Each structure stands twice: as structure tokens, then as C-alpha cells.
Structure 1
Amino acid sequence: MTRPRTLVVQIDGVAIEDGEIAPPRIGEVTEFPLRFVEQPVSAADTLTVRALLEASDRGPVLQSTGHGVPRRWEWNGTLRGDGWTASWRGFRPRTGPVELTGRFYGVMGYDTPETVRGRVTRVQLVNERYRRPPGNHGGSIVVEHRTFRDVEASPRFFDSDVFMRDDPFEVDRAVGVMIDLDLDDVPPVPPRPPIVPGDVSASGEMLWIVDRELPLVVMLDADHVAHEYVLPGSIGSSRHLWAVPSGCWVGGADGLYWCAAGAEPRRISERPTYQGAVIGETFLACPPGTTWLSYTSDREPVSVQVPDGYVSAIGVDGESFVVLAEQRRAHAESTHRLVRVTVSGEVTVGPDLPAMQGWVTPYLAGTPLRLVRGNVAVQILPDLTYGVVQQVGGRAFHGGQVGEFVWIIGHPPDGTSSTGWWPLPAPVDYDRTRQFWLFTLLDAGTLEPVSSTPLLATNPAVTIDHRGTVWVIAEGLQSIPAESMLWPPAVDVAALLDGD
């Protein structure tokens, strides 16, 4: 009898809390992003693997390895073993057949495309010890002081309140779980649906959806009849949509495409296009570099010359686009400034802006237009400087403008934080055994909550149609209910295609 293939993996608590990995439970089949991290042979809880390493053609990254320790060059690639594939990072360049010592980690998937699939046969809670100076809410890890406790299932959230206590010099905190995976005791992977929605955009009566990986766009008309359009593009790239009354612009790593009802899609530009916004029929595309392009479907694009910078956010202010551009400088802190582009292509560049503190992504939204980061909203003045500062009721991870609303997403409240039950109007009894994130619509003028909806996504694509229905990409295509705290109904786009 062949011995079953198994894998022991530590899953970071943040990956579970952020919704990337469902809390593992004994007996359940799970799939998640997998990384192998090399560790010294002397380190505890390590294993040695033999695998084929396919080195990445990307250059190494000068990586920080701890406070007071010089940074080191780190290489990356893909490890292929018996029944598993993992991303790899290491401080020594390698390729081909390798023997490595380290640990497997379940992590966030934004930079770890390799996944593992198996049945969970054991779950252990992992605790690490932190040492703190007196009065310091934080601390450093006590190296190799790790303890384990068998549990039936991983918790949904991991306790960080221990850092707020003033008395202990050392504290133990759960940082994740260690699981045993049976790689063989799993059912076959089900066939992929004809479309897996990756982005959505509405204009007029048309709702446009693009696949997460395939060059496939579906348009739902006013009667929810599905019309399929195949782009002459590559497989494996995510794409974004910007709908206008006459059709839809589709951008991604392989360029910009134009789709119109009843016509063959065509590629307009080969330049990668990830950022953009629309006003009426005008689409402003912001590819990397110093030339942006203003498009309409019936004329040649207008070139827009701008300073070099990374596009952090785009908002709409009347008949002009406002872009937050970040200037990244080597060996110096980045700076931000705002760039205004009118629908006719006129450009105004604002001054360098004072730094906004916070780790969350800034966004532009609201009426009047504001730059929002965390729980701070700053009004944008006509000269592209900061105006009145306003506090938002609570922090959010992501947000943006959608019609007459501002949307945000963050943790659901439990009444114990300094913001109480915000954005909910009062204590609410909800199922805390099911992990979700809270999607909230705010009034664009006052930034006061209008409604809140549980979602299984941390950064959904969001749009609004001519009827005022807000659509998101979370568990597929879903519509936001008008009443708060109702789970959103889904539209099975694949089934609509099959019935076409």
C-alpha cells in the first residue's frame, strides 16, 4: 500500500483574519497559497524537502531581516515537489534539483500564486512569546519560543489584546495554526465554470463582467440576457472594466480593448492599463509612464502629458478627473501630489502634499471630493491642496466612489472598540462563527453610513447601475440589498451564458 502524501503547514493568522484562507477544520478539504521559507538547520519545527526549483527571472530584492540587522538580497522562484507546488524565497541563489530545510507557510495570495490542496487531519494553535519594554504596547519575538495546542478548528480571529496589558513583561500570543494536510484524500477538482467574475462595471442598462483570468467579457442587458465577447488577449491575466454608454473599455497587462454591443472586441493599445476612470463617454487611461490617454469611442485618443509617478487613486470632480500620484524616490520618502485632467485633456499639477499617516490604501471619493485614508478625510481644494480635515466614524481597509455613495470595507464591529458599533446604528446580533467583512455605503456628502452588508471579500470590485443597484464581485457577482446586514444575493453569470 502506498504511503499517503502529507504536508505540515503553518498558516499565518493574518491570512485567516483577512479572509484569504478559510479557518482550517479537521476533516475539511482546503486550498490556499503556499510558500516555503528556508530556515537554519538548527531551527525548531523545520523539515527538509527535495524538490525542483524553477528560479524566477525577476531580480533579487534587498530585504529587511530584522531591527538592527543589515538587509540582504533575497531571490524567489517556484518549488515543485511530490503532490505540492510552493513559491520560494531564499537568501542564496538556487535553481534545479535542490534539498532545502525550512517551513511551509500558508500566506496571502497577492504575491504567492502557488497553491496546495488537501484534507486537514490535524490543527494546532501556534503561540509565540513576545518580550516588551515597560509601557510599550508591542514587543519583539523571543526566538524559538513556540508552543502548540491541538484544537478542532482554527479561530476566526487571533487575540491581540495581550499587547494592551500593562503588567506582563513577556506575553504569549496565538499567531496562527499548524495543520497536517493529506494530499491524497481529496475529491477531484471540479471543472472550472465558463466564467469566474473578476471585475464589473455598469453604464445605462448594460452590466459588463470580465473573467478573472480568461480574455472573456460578458454583457448583461436590461433583461439580464447574457452576451459573450472574446478578447484577442492572453490567458492568465486579470483585467479591469470601465463602462460608458456606448460600450466598455477593458484594460490589463496585455493592453487596452474596446467592447461594444454586437461588435467584435478590438485591441486599442498594447500598453499595460490598470488604472482609469470615466466621465460620460470619456475614459482616462493612466498606464505607467508620463503619457496618459483620454479616449472616446468616436475619435482618436488625446495624449495627456503628466509628471512621472505611480497612480495611487483616481476620483471624479465635476467634469474633471483628479489623480493621486506618488513619486517614489530611492533612499528617500515618497511624496504625493494631485493631478487634474479635464475631459478635454487640460492638465493641472498640484504641489507636493503633506504626508498622510496610515498603512491602508488612500482613495478619492465624496462630494466635495476628499482624499480618504483610514478614518481621516481631507477635502481637495480647487488648487489641488488640502482643505478641511474630517474624521470618518471608523477605519476601513479599502474604499471608493460609487454613484452618489462612498463605499468602504472593514472589520464588522462587536461594540468593544473605541468606535463602538459604527458603521451600524446600534448593537446587532449576527453569526460570529462565519467569517466575513462589512461592506458599507456612506452618504457622499456627510460620510455618514447608509447601509451595511456582510461580504466574503476584502477588496471587492464595485459599480452602480441606472436603477441605483450597487453590484460587487465577492462570491461571484452579487447585488447589495437596501436593508442592512442581509447577505447579498448572487447572479449566476455562467448559468446565464449556458442558457444563451
Structure 2
Amino acid sequence: MTCSRTVVIRIGSSVIGDGEIAVPRRGEVLAGPLQFIETGAEAPHAVRVRAELVPSERPPIWQYTGEASPRRWEWSGLLRGDGWTASWRGAVPRTGQVDLTGVFWGTFGYDTEGRFRGRVTRVRMASERYERRGAGGWYSVPGHYRLREVDTAPRFFGLGDTEHDGDSADMETSVVVDLDLDDVPALPVRPELVPGDVSAAGGVAWVVDSALPVVLRIDADDRATRVMLPGAIGTPRRVYATPWGCWVTGQDGAFWVTEGADPVRVDDQPVVAGAAAGESLVACTGTEVWRQYVPGREPVDLPAIAGYVSSMAAVGDCAYAVVLSRGDPVLRVVRVSAAGECTVGPAVPLLPRGHGNPYLLGDPLRVVRGVDVGVVRPDLSVHEEREFPKRQLGGGISGGVSWTVGRLLQGNTTGESWPMPGPVVMDPTRRSWVLTVHDPASLEPVTSVPVSTHAPRVAAGADGEVFVIDSAVRRFRTDSPVMAEPEVIDVAGIAARLV
């Protein structure tokens, strides 16, 4: 008889609160994204692992490593262990079989390839000491680490969920979970389509698979057509509906899809963000050269600006983007005209009190940085206009619909009910995120619906219809009652009937 394979994982409070990883309960199967962080052997729950390291093709990152530590280069890759995989970053480039010491962390999965899956055999709440430093928030104090045995971790806990008096407090901010990797049932068969993105135009919704080169066209009567792209498996993609078809983009290029014709790959240039206006698509490539696509024409290069695109939207006959320049605490608004003319706006500072990912909202166009809302002027500078009562995690514009997503906090913040008209009771075991549609002119909330992710994909349909992807494709109307459950569209069942 052989021993079961086991692993011990730390999971931060925000990862559980956001629903990225389910609440750990002893005896239940738990799965999620996994990261391995190299540490000294003295770190709590540090283990020594021997695994195969598959290095990433991405270049190293010039990374901050701590309050008083200098920046350093960090390489990335994927560790393949016995019953697990874990994303890795390290200050020393490595490849092949490696012997490392560090800690397994359950983490956010948007850029984490590693995965774990096992049955929970033990759950412990980890407490650390924190001290408040001026207006800069709470900082960990080394040497104060305690564990508390529980059967089930709470859904919400940590720095932001409890009021604290004084400038020092012991707080539980993570969970330590022991997992049996062998005592798990077989994985279910993958559905015919797992939705990754949605877009709508002309009464038609387009849904692209999260990993397969498959697009589903759904008309107003929920009749569907499946289109298979000549693209790679395993590449996340985005879809942009137009009146006559849709653009599909990803790391393997851009595709044009229209009813009654075979899909066409129009370019193999990777696309990191895009926006469709009319039939054309403006695509950001992550470099100083962007591209504009029009059906039946060759791609056109657009000189713009290199940087991280945090938000992009079509507004009238133009596409706008908020771009964070490399390493600088500023953003710039870029305007692209229908003729392909690019105008880069002046530097707009990101505020030191916390800005998150800036995003576009409304008509007239605004840039939202944390709670700060600024109007975009004709010269693409940003004029401070107002503050939201509470910070939203993100938002955007789709088909003229302005939306934000945020966490429903209870009892510990100013403006706690906003964007709801008053207090709303939510099941604490279910979704903790709220998607809100805003009036484009005033930005006042119009309605809100519960969602199960902090990063939903949102698309405006016809006549006030809104599609959203969290764990499924859902549909609601902008005049729906506040916190009404959106209708679920069974895209997997629709796709299965087309086989």
C-alpha cells in the first residue's frame, strides 16, 4: 500500500472572498489556481519540491520585491509536480528538473497556469500581526504567526472586513489547507462549449470558447450556429460583434466571422485589447504599432503608444483606450478616428491613494481611477469631475452601456449600500460581486445584478438587453429589478445539440 500524495496550500482571504477559490471545508474537494513562491526553509509551511520547470517564453519582469528591497529581474514558468502544477517566478533563471524550497499559494487565476485539486483533510486559520502606518494602510509585522484549527473557513475575513482600534492588531488573513491529491473523483467530461467572452450586435450574440477555437452565433430566437476557427487550442480569445459578423482576437491573431461564409484569419499579429466601431476593429498589440481591420481589406498599421491597456471602448465612430505607460504612475487616453488617425493625450497622474485599473465610462466619456471620476476633454486631458461613494473594482463601456463591478460590503465602509438604493441582504455562501449598469450621462446606478466573479465579460444587446459571462452566460435587462437573478443561457446545451 502506498501513501497518498498530499500538499499544503496557503490561500489569502481576498482569493476566497472573491470566489476565485471556494471556501475550504474539511472533507470536500477543493480546486483552483496554484503558485509556488520560493522562500527560505524557515518560512511557515515551506516545503522542498522536485519538479520539472517549463520556462515561460515571456521576457523577465523588472519587479519590486518589498518595502525596503531593490527591484530585480524575475523569470516565470510552470512547475510540473506529482499531482499538481504551479506557476513559478524566481530571481534565478531555471529550466528542466529543479529542486526548490518555497510555499504553495492558492491565488488569483487570470494569469496563473498552475492548478491543484484535492480533498481537504485539514483547515487552519493563519493569524499575523499588522501595524497601521499613517494613511498608508496595514503592514505585516514579522515574528507573530499563529494557527487556529477549524472545520470550515469563513467566506469573508481579513484586513478589510473588521474594524480595528489602535495601530496594531492580530488578524487572520489567510487559510492553510491540507489536501489529499488522490482521494478525488474523476474530472467530468468538458462541455461542448465553455464560454470565455460574449459580444452582441444587430440582435445576434456571439460567444467564444475559453480555450477552443469555437464561436457560437445565437440569434434573437436562441437559434444557434457553431463556427470553428482555424486557430490554436488553448488560447484565450475575445469576440467583438458588428452589424454583419464578428471579429475574434487572441495571441494567434485576428479572425473575421460572418454568417454563410468560412471564417478567415486576417492577421497572425497577437492582439491584447480591441474595440469595434461599425464593421471595423481597432486592435492594440502591446507595441507602439496598433492595427485597424476592415472586412475585405488588408490590415492597416496605426502608430500609437506601447503600454498596458486597461480599458478600451468604441464611442461613436472612434475607439478610445486608457493606456498605462511602462513603469510610470501615469495614464494616457488615446483616440483613434474612423480614418485610423491616432492622437495620444497628455500624461494623467495615477493617484497615490489607490487607483486600481483605470477604466472608461459614460457619455460624455470619463476615466475612473479608484473613486475619482474625470471627464475626458477634447485634447484628451482629464478634468476631475466627482467621486464615487465607493470604489468599484472595474468597469467599461459596451454598445453604449456603462457598467461597473464591485464587491458588496456590509457594515464597514462609507456609502456601504451604493450602488444599490439601500441595504441588500445576500446569501454569504453565494456570489459576493455586484454588476451595476449606470446612466451614461449622470453615471447614477440604474440597476444591479449579482455575479460570481470580479472580472465578468459584459456585452450590450438590443433594446436594453445585457449579456454577462461569469461562470455561465447570463442575460438581463437594464430595467430589471435591483438584484434580480439574470437568466441563464445554456450555451453548452445549445452547442451539444449542434454536434
Same fold (TM over 0.5): yes
| Native 8 Å contact 1:441 1:452 kept in 2 | yes
Distance 1:307 1:61 in 2: 20
Deviation at 1:59, TM superposition (A): 4.4
Please name the residue that 1:321 is paired with: 319
Distance 1:9 1:424 in 2: 36
TM-score normalised by L of structure 1: 0.92
| Native 8 Å contact 1:294 1:343 kept in 2 | no
Please name the residue that 2:147 is paired with: 148
Deviation at 1:13, TM superposition (A): 1.7
Segments of structure 2 that go 5 or more residues without pairing to the other structure are none
> Structure 2 counterpart of 1:305, which letter?
P
1:78-111 deviation per Cα after TM superposition (whole angstroms, max 9, x unaligned): 3222222222333344443333332221111133
Shift in CA distance, 323/136, structure 1 to aligned 2, threshold 3 Å: closer
Q: Which moved more, 1:264-273 or 1:358-367?
A: 358-367
Please name the residue that 2:215 is paired with: 217
1:452 equivalent among 448, 455, 459: 448
| Native 8 Å contact 1:362 1:371 kept in 2 | yes
Deviation at 1:164, TM superposition (A): 5.9
Shift in CA distance, 418/73, structure 1 to aligned 2, threshold 3 Å: same
1:8 aligns with 2:4: no
Deviation at 1:244, TM superposition (A): 0.6
Deviation at 1:191, TM superposition (A): 0.7
| Native 8 Å contact 1:242 1:249 kept in 2 | yes
Please name the residue that 2:271 is paired with: 273
Deviation at 1:27, TM superposition (A): 1.5
Please name the residue that 2:405 is paired with: 409
Distance 2:132 2:348 in 1: 36
Task: Report SS of the residue matched to 2:166.
Answer: coil
2:460 equivalent among 459, 464, 477: 464
1:64 aligns with 2:64: yes
2:193 equivalent among 182, 195, 219: 195
Distance 1:96 1:345 in 2: 46
1:80 aligns with 2:75: no
> Structure 1 counterpart of 2:341, which letter?
E
> Structure 2 counterpart of 1:342, which letter?
S
Deviation at 1:307, TM superposition (A): 4.1
Task: Report SS of the residue matched to 1:480.
Answer: strand
TM-score normalised by L of structure 2: 0.92
Please name the residue that 1:47 is paired with: 47
- Larger Rg, first or second structure (1 or 2): 1
| Native 8 Å contact 1:5 1:182 kept in 2 | yes
Please name the residue that 2:228 is paired with: 230
Deviation at 1:44, TM superposition (A): 4.0
Q: How many residues align?
A: 495
> Structure 1 counterpart of 2:240, which letter?
W
Please name the residue that 1:376 is paired with: 372
Shift in CA distance, 466/167, structure 1 to aligned 2, threshold 3 Å: closer
| Native 8 Å contact 2:200 2:241 kept in 1 | yes
Distance 2:417 2:311 in 1: 29
> Structure 1 counterpart of 2:322, which letter?
L
Shift in CA distance, 88/467, structure 1 to aligned 2, threshold 3 Å: same
Deviation at 1:161, TM superposition (A): 5.6
Distance 1:75 1:297 in 2: 39
Distance 1:215 1:119 in 2: 33
| Native 8 Å contact 1:339 1:384 kept in 2 | yes
Deviation at 1:388, TM superposition (A): 5.1
> Structure 2 counterpart of 1:25, which letter?
R
Distance 1:192 1:21 in 2: 19
| Native 8 Å contact 2:400 2:460 kept in 1 | no
1:345 aligns with 2:343: no
Q: Which moved more, 1:200-209 or 1:490-499?
A: 490-499
Deviation at 1:112, TM superposition (A): 2.0
Shift in CA distance, 3/479, structure 1 to aligned 2, threshold 3 Å: same
| Native 8 Å contact 2:214 2:226 kept in 1 | yes
Distance 1:302 1:136 in 2: 48
Please name the residue that 2:421 is paired with: 425
> Structure 2 counterpart of 1:400, which letter?
G
> Structure 2 counterpart of 1:295, which letter?
Y
Distance 1:155 1:89 in 2: 29
Deviation at 1:137, TM superposition (A): 6.4
